[in-house]
Chain A
């Protein structure tokens, strides 16, 4: 079970791998589309990589609700619980 800090750090690593954004830029209140400029194709790659890293399933219909990094961290934490 990963802590929220660990999930955030892991997510930041995945975002960096996909987009080249500095991991420090991936903060809880940042919007994936508005702030981080992540398009839908990159978002799906990030989702699939997060599923593998955290051992969770993020259904396609949930992805649109993950507007901010914080939304994704909460979803993953709940799914792991």
Chain B
């Protein structure tokens, strides 16, 4: 019998709230975190997209100036979320050799890398800061969280584009089940609202160009969806072996019942139109958690609002859940906060855990004309989830054909 893994701490900093309580209240209300960017670089480089979803609370309002200086913005967000999750877990004494970190990112320290390149060209090699390498490395955030919490059972960085945050949850579950750790701080962090990634995502036609109406640009499942909205931030969760949580009398939000990771091996960026990899991921996570289709009441969908991405996820959900998919309350929370790339899976995991714990499904905004090819029961105003035993799923898919799914059960 595998060790049961539960979730005992939550943290987040996002475009719709700088902490979990604020984010959750807004997620139930239905707000948009997307706004026109005031940065001079938007006009300077004539970027085709003029808006994004920035974190509602700047990292420098939370961290001290000196500690922030040594962290890339992505790491700043990750450390803020991890500290909130850790405090929320109430853990005060722990064997630090049994505490691990699995903290993901999609892109890593892109601000640091490009700032250093600008400095090199403008001022020469002497002015490139000695902290550049530890700040730009993709494991920087996992390392910073490990250092901050004294986690010595390993600090891991799953990197699978927009599936990274969910893959961190998968890895965390495996670390506890296999006995390598008792507690794992899992999460994802991203800070890529920089002109270069904005230009690169634009050039692949992935971003919405609704410049005249940013708040209504992220519209998963709507017939007029035209791309995702770049977001930023971090989410963090404390995963704990059930016996460890019970022994200290912890408040338990939910069980992380099952997880999975699969690969499409179909195309480097395009999703498999049949959603076969996603279907296998859904089925594998359900099998892993001993879950029947009928147990599932809620899905936090990947649903980025791209014309090509939203439909294969529906196809996969129908393939995995059968006709029961019609009874499932689906939330597309990227409609509110945009796409946090490697952090999205972690933030959505936080929302999925709260949905099970509070028995409420968060809101999908901007759904005006639902795509008739995606007949899901989309939650557009806050909805109660049923009493009794329930399971919620959260999906994440990433460029490279990465699929990751988590299944969360009430306790």
A in complex with B: yes
Known contacts A48-B126, A51-B126, A18 near B131 by CB under 8 Å: no
- B131/A41 in contact, CB under 8 A: yes
In the complex, the answer to whether A20 meets B129 with C-beta atoms within 8 Å is no
* A45 CB within 8 Å of chain B: yes
Task: Determine if A25 is an interface residue (Cβ-Cβ < 8 Å).
Answer: no
> Is A20 touching B65 in the complex (CB atoms < 8 A)?
yes
Which residues on B sit within 8 Å (CB–CB) of A51?
126
Q: Does A44 contact B (CB under 8 A)?
A: yes
Q: Map CB proximity to B onto A26-58 as digits: 1 under 8 Å, 0 otherwise.
A: 000000000000001100110010011000000
Residues of chain A contacted by B66 (CB below 8 angstroms): 18-20
- Interface of chain B: mostly helix, strand, loop or mixed: helix
Contact B126 A18 (CB under 8 A): no
Once bound together, how far apart are the Cα atoms of A48 and B126, in whole Å?
7
Shortest distance between the CB of B298 and any CB in chain A (Å) = 45
- Distance A44 CA – B127 CA, assembled complex (angstroms): 10
Chain B contact residues (Cβ within 8 angstroms of A): what range?
Answer: under 10
Name the distance in Å between A22's Cβ and chain B's nearest Cβ: 12
B290 touches A (CB below 8 Å): no
Contacts of B127 on A, CB cut-off 8 Å? 48, 52
Say whether B387 faces chain A, with CB atoms less than 8 Å apart.
no
Q: Mask for B229-245, Cβ within 8 A of A = 1, else 0?
A: 00000000000000000
Distance of A44 Cα from B130 Cα, bound (Å): 7
Measured between beta carbons, the chain A residues less than 8 angstroms from B129 are 45, 48
- Answer whether residue B64 sits at the interface, using C-beta atoms and an 8 A cutoff: yes
Chain B residues, Cβ within 8 Å of A40: 130
Q: How far is the CA of A55 from the CA of B350 in the complex (A)?
A: 51
Residues on A with C-beta less than 8 A from B131 are 41, 45
Measured between C-beta atoms, what is the minimum distance from A44 to chain B in Å? 4
Residues on A with C-beta less than 8 A from B65 are: 20
- Cβ of B324 within 8 Å of any chain A Cβ, yes or no, is no
Measured CB to CB, the closest approach of chain A to B68, in angstroms, equals 11
Residues from chain A with Cβ under 8 Å of B64 in the complex: 20
Min C-beta distance of A49 to chain B, whole Å: 9
Tell me the complex Cα distance, A68–B65, Å: 25
| Distance between B330 CB and nearest chain A CB, rounded to angstroms | 47
CB within 8 Å of B: which residues of A? 18-20, 40-41, 44-45, 48, 51-52
The 4 closest A-B pairs by CB, nearest first: A20-B66, A44-B130, A41-B130, A41-B131
